[in-house]
Amino acid sequence: MTDQAIIDCRGVKKWFGDFQALRGVDLEVTKGEVVVIIGPSGSGKSTFIRCINRLEVHQEGQIFVDGIELTNDVRNIEAIRKDVGMVFQSFNLFPHLTIMQNITLAPIWVKKQSKSEAEAYGRELLERVGIPEQADKYPGQLSGGQQQRVAIARALAMKPQIMLFDEPTSALDPEMVKEVLDAMKELAKEGMTMIVVTHEMGFAREVADRVLFFDYGQLVEAGTPEHFFTNPQHDRTKLFLSQIL
């Protein structure tokens, strides 16, 4: 593990019953790096990033986040979750809370910030994702794109070092994809460490430092976007890219 590796995965394996979803994944991510994971559905890419904040439990191998190993130790899991923000495909905003309450819930209850402090930062975040006027509405009153931007703000409210994005634009109307991608690009520019599972090749090409191709629970190929989109090595990668580009 180099000094800079903020995420370090070694031989991560995971089974769902008989089905092996991850067949030994090794990955190091350095601070400030933007990693985009692509691959066919069922290839284990979502499962993999969900292992990083322990929404799924890996059964073999090791995962270190910021030097802390993910084990069954509740204290480690809590420490890592405070440091890792996540944005889901289906937003998963809390429908019974206002936008502001969605954002300030964790800072108040997990980080024990005062309400005023948390709200001030929440307002700043809403400003950054471009919807400051929606603070007192409920998630059901917002469009999909707006909801996903709130989800990003909610994750950022914990001031995480790492952000995980699990197909953040897949559930959006085409015309709303851009507003979410713009918010993510902004974040990448600011130096956030990001792992993004997506099918948006344009985003991968423009923003990624590294692109990973997953298939059949394995990391098949990794490289810079340039290498990846112009000169892929593996046949499987070539096939995948030929089908989607």
Beta strands in the chain, from DSSP E residues, in sequence order: 5-16, 19-30, 34-38, 60-65, 68-69, 84-87, 162-166, 193-197, 210-215, 218-223
Q: What are phi and psi of 47, to 5 degrees?
A: -55, -40
Q: How far apart are the first and last CA of the chain?
A: 35
Select the residue interacting with other proteins from 7, 22, 93, 195 (CB under 8 A).
Answer: 93
Q: Do the beta carbons of residue 150 and residue 93 sit within 8 Å?
A: yes
Q: Do the beta carbons of residue 111 and residue 79 sit within 8 Å?
A: no
Q: Which structure tokens are listed for 143?
A: 């469009």
Which CB atom, from 30 or from 92, has the smaller least distance to other proteins?
A: 92
The reply to whether 141 sits near other proteins by the rule CB under 8 A is yes
Q: Which residues pair with residue 15 across a beta bridge?
A: 20
**Which x/- pattern over 149-188 shows residues binding other proteins (rule: CB under 8 A)?**
--x--xx-xx------------------------------
The reply to whether 86 sits near other proteins by the rule CB under 8 A is yes
The reply to whether 88 sits near other proteins by the rule CB under 8 A is yes
Which CB atom, from 97 or from 241, has the smaller least distance to other proteins?
A: 97
Which CB atom, from 194 or from 220, has the smaller least distance to other proteins?
A: 194
Q: Quick one: which of 26, 90, 28 has its CA closest to 58?
A: 26
The reply to whether 105 sits near other proteins by the rule CB under 8 A is yes
Residue whose tokens read 């046949």: 235
The reply to whether 95 sits near other proteins by the rule CB under 8 A is yes
Residues ≥6 apart with Cβ < 8 Å to 31: 4, 6, 161, 193
How many chain residues interact with other proteins (CB under 8 A)?
Answer: 34
Q: Quick one: which of 181, 187, 176 has its CA closest to 204?
A: 181
Which CB atom, from 35 or from 118, has the smaller least distance to other proteins?
A: 118
Q: Which range in 114-122, 176-184, 220-228, 234-242 contacts other proteins by CB under 8 A?
A: 114-122
Select the residue interacting with other proteins from 81, 201, 215, 220 (CB under 8 A).
Answer: 81
Which CB atom, from 158 or from 181, has the smaller least distance to other proteins?
A: 158
The reply to whether 82 sits near other proteins by the rule CB under 8 A is yes
Q: Do the beta carbons of residue 67 and residue 138 sit within 8 Å?
A: no
Which CB atom, from 163 or from 219, has the smaller least distance to other proteins?
A: 163
State the residues that interact with other proteins by CB under 8 A: 53-55, 78, 81-82, 84-86, 88, 90, 92-96, 105-106, 109-110, 113-117, 137-138, 140-141, 151, 154-155, 157-158
